[in-house]
Structure 1
Amino acid sequence: MKKIFSLAACVALSANLFADTITVGATPVPHAEILTEVAKILKEQGHELKIVEFNDYVLPNLAVNDGELDANFFQHKPYLDEFNNQKGTNLVSVQGVHLEPMGAYSKVIKNISELKEKALVYIPNDPTNESRALNILEKAGLIELDKNVELKTPLDITKNPKNLEFKELEAAQLPRALEECDLAVINSNYALAANLNPTKDAVIIESKDSPYVNIVAVKKDNAESDKTKILVKAISDEKIKAFIEEKYKGAIIPSF
């Protein structure tokens, strides 16, 4: 009788382990696309991956912090660190997945050398991506920045030889506003969603040694949970690496 109960307990435990639904928040491109491939791996293992799409950078972190999501996949660690500091959240990175090189795009010029005096430049308005965008413009020789400031804004521009005018917008709005400006620095997830390929369409592109790797983030208390371990193992599978390389052809680079 004890053996029967022991066997029943093992079956119940196995059923619980392999019947998890893991809920992950993500921006549509490329994160939700990658997660759709991850879902196939998890399904083979007996798990369900529920993907909840967001079009901003705030709600998916708040949803993880509030326990509405098990994890999210849309951001890099510098953004997450700044978010935690600003919002008092306690989220951590559990896996680096890929790098999306940020690019500057234009409907007006084909080469950055063509950018005119007093050109209007749009940049993201969140602190980390704004600073990242300005660093890209500095590396292109358009501006110089105060080296003593970590998170830079247009107020930290020390030299602006072309007298460029800067306007800050929400990152998701930048592709739609490209017609309104001379140059816009756009995160690759939003660029790709607007059919802009960073390696082909950008007039400036971030170098591949960028620290801004996109990550899977969870609440700190759940960093070692079974769901987190299952998700991390699946998203870092060689099949996912091959998918990223084949589908995005260098516009997005695997980091595992």
Structure 2
Amino acid sequence: MTTGIDLSRAYHDDVVRPLLLGWRPGLPYAAGRLGSGSDVLGLDDATSRDHDWGLRLTLLVDERDVAAVDAHLEAALPAEHAGLPVRFATTWDPVVRHRVEVATPRGFARSRLGIDPTTDLDAAGWLALTGQSVLEVTAGAVFHDGPGELAAVRDRLAWYPHDVWLHVLAAEWARVGQELPFVGRTGVRGDDAGSRVLAARLAGSLLRLGLLLERRWPPYPKWLGTAFAGTPAA
């Protein structure tokens, strides 16, 4: 099966890039398959195509070019490419329009993280991040990065500072330590359902710990086990 990354790369190379170069030769930009979607993590399959599926791309330009680039693409893009729609509605936006997300590198990252990663993050800033939000910026494929700003943002988000990492590890261990005795306690009391719920929650914490120990950002629960299975320790 052709992957979502393959489709997005071909969409950029065959359609979007020629449109940009023909319109504004030398336009500085970055392009990749970033943001939400299982294909960003390289984990899409046939089921992934039952929602929000089509040709998607993230295009990052200077702030003064965002509106013009978006308008040009809306006017110039074809109806489809490789048998897939270029314009379609999504679960978060019912409007049928092209799904090339045009933004600045800083604006895109901030829309995913909730904070500006181009500044020096303090401990509170790092702790505000979730693994999934960081992966939406750092995990996807990059097809072009002329200015290099996207690469700089991704480098800054490679991993926690050492002291923050130790704090995150300690917090996850504390969560395990607090609830571990309750698995047996609820079982002794005949609360089989409660014991199972606690055991499952602890298993999730241990999976996150495994990824954190390997300095890998944990994805959201749908892909947590899959990500853990790909760690060297597993």
Question: TM-score when scaled to structure 2?
Answer: 0.25
Query: Greater RCO between the two (CA within 8 Å, min separation 6)?
Result: 1
Question: By percentage of residues, which structure has more helix?
Answer: 2
Question: By percentage of residues, which structure has more strand?
Answer: 1
Question: TM-score when scaled to structure 1?
Answer: 0.23
